[in-house]
Amino acid sequence: MEFFASKTGLAYWIYISASLILGGVILWALCVVPPKFRKPIVILVTFISGLYLSLEFLVQPPAGQEQNWFTRKWPDVSNVIIVIAAFALLIGTVNLLSIHGKALWKRRENWYNSLAFFIAFIAIMAAGFARDSYDGPVVQQTFNILFNGLFMPMQATMFSLIAFYIVSAAYRAFRIRTIESGLMMGAAAIIMLALVPVGTYITAWIPEDSMFAFLRLERIGYWILVLPNMAVQRAIAFGIAVGALATGLRIWLSLERGSFFEREL
Amino acid sequence: MGEGTIYANPLVYIVEGAIVLFILVNIILARRGKKLFIRRIPGLASLDEAVGRATEMGRPILYAPGVHGVDIVGLQSMAILSHIITHAAKYSTRVIVTVAEPLLYTVADEVARDAYNAAGTPEQYSTDDIRYLTDRQFAWASGVVGTIHREKVATAFYFGAFFAESLILTENGQMVGAIQIAGTPQTTQIPFFLATCDYTIIGDEYFAASAYLSREPTLLGSLVGQDFGKVVMIALILIGNLYFVLDWLMPDSGVVNLMKDYFINYFQVD
């Protein structure tokens, strides 16, 4: 639809101004609406939003076409969601600045962590804007150092801690006290051995084409993963899917209960 | 959505319609006063005990709603958060919420404000306790870990969508001696939570949490309807199994072809 197409020049600024004015008018209207009408408005907006996504899946595309009307309009709808998320990001950033600003201003305990936050926040923001605005080796390199040189390795470091945490968690938690825990340990040991060369070497002496080939560790490990493990995972997934359907239905029809969902607006 | 979008076929209309019908009928029956039974879920039954432990130790509670945003998983997490804050507010116990998604942060902030109001203690609400950290997975995890160690939390709740960072959070909770309760629909993270947390809520128990905690007739009715939905799933699995057994025993027979035309083909995804 041309209305949602990208605009340039004067049309660009007219659309932005009109959107801001329209947004302000809607906010004002929501504020002056009597309280008894606010909840029905929220319920109606929730229902229409959910109805769009339901119809997008349920309505068959017309003959000869691959998509229905709802799917074709989805890029425009997702742009609206992206804009709302951008405003929410602003609110989240304000919260971050507020918390760390107070910690720094009042010199609370560990205030230097808040100082580090501000330095990092300003540095990466400045580097990002500079990279997008200017085309030079210095700004590109600065951004690369901050993002690829600092952020990515730090992320990888946190990820790599998992290896050590798995060992400490397993050492602490995996005790054979019952038959079930013994079965679990046995299955875990078989699968661990099946996935490493040393483990497959243990049963490599059994010929591949013999009638006892099923006793090879990699085959037992594969069987455990593909059959009982997959069956249980799928069973849990079925339950989750039905649970998600029920929860989604309650939220869509505004049947959810709780202090947040039932409060007066 | 977009290229290669999958649309519903007639079997989806029937199955989904049946499940939705079961849920709505049971909600109506529950609202009319029908008594419904729900089994004990240990992880959810111990929520109040965990809040009490934090109160006794005089240390705060941490609530981490995962890395997803405002979706079914996130909203269910907010329903559980509301219950925890309402309970903690009675004992003036601080609840620190560390959020990874800005949209969910706005919802968490409103939920916290309303929960403290509902508990009659609006003065306990503090914007500093509802913290948006970052939407980057491991940066968020390191922020939560820092909060766990600096605040020396006595109780940690992990309800939401978690991925690789789950073990990082729970191991650090163990280090400070916190009692930890986790619930996630992510099957891949269940083993890590089981190994490190005191109580773990698995699979669809997560979506039963709001019904279990509030005991509202509407929610209980929905939960019973869910169980009927699982019966529908089991019936479909049995029919599918019957088809494959019959196909193996008597291939190309009339019954097998009939089942294939009117049932199996609808499960084929191109």
pLDDT digits (tens, 9 = 90+) for B204-244: 899 988 888 888 888 888 888 888 888 988 998 898 899 88
Query: Does residue A199 register a pLDDT over 80?
Result: yes
pLDDT tens by residue, B119-130: 999 999 999 999
Q: Tell me, what amino acid is at A91?
A: I
Task: Specify whether the backbone of A167 is left (phi greater than 0), alpha (psi in -120 to 50) or beta.
Answer: alpha
Higher pLDDT, B262 or A16: A16
Backbone angles phi, psi at B157, to 5 degrees: -110, 130
Percent of chain B with pLDDT over 90: 56
- Rounded mean pLDDT, A28-48: 88
Would an 8 Å CB–CB cutoff place A58 in contact with chain B?
A: yes
For residue B218, what pLDDT is reported? 86
Question: Taking the model in full, what pTM does it have?
Answer: 0.88
For residue B215, what pLDDT is reported? 85
Q: Residues 172 to 211 of A: which have CB under 8 A from any B CB?
A: 172-174
Chain A environment of B136 (Cβ under 8 Å): 155
Chain B environment of A244 (Cβ under 8 Å): 72-73, 185, 207
Residues 6+ apart with CB under 8 A from B66: B73, B74, B77, B100, B158, B159, B160, B161, B162, B184
Strand order of the sheet with strand B130-132?
Answer: B130-132, B95-99, B61-66, B155-161, B179-184, B199-202
Query: Does residue B169 register a pLDDT over 60?
Result: yes
Are B236 and B266 a contacting pair, CB within 8 Å? Answer: no
Interface probe, candidates B167, B172, B238, chain A, greatest A C-beta count within 10 A: B167
pLDDT band at B263 (very low <50, low <70, confident <90, very high): confident
- Facing residue for B218 by CB, picked from A91, A162, A257: A257
pLDDT tens by residue, A103-116: 999 998 889 999 99
pLDDT band at A85 (very low <50, low <70, confident <90, very high): confident
Chain B environment of A237 (Cβ under 8 Å): 187, 203
> Mean pLDDT across chain B, nearest whole number?
90
CA distance B161 to B218: 25
CA distance B23 to B263: 24
> What tokens appear for B207 in the block?
């979506």
> Out of A2-6, A154-158, A190-194, which region has the weakest mean confidence (pLDDT)?
A2-6
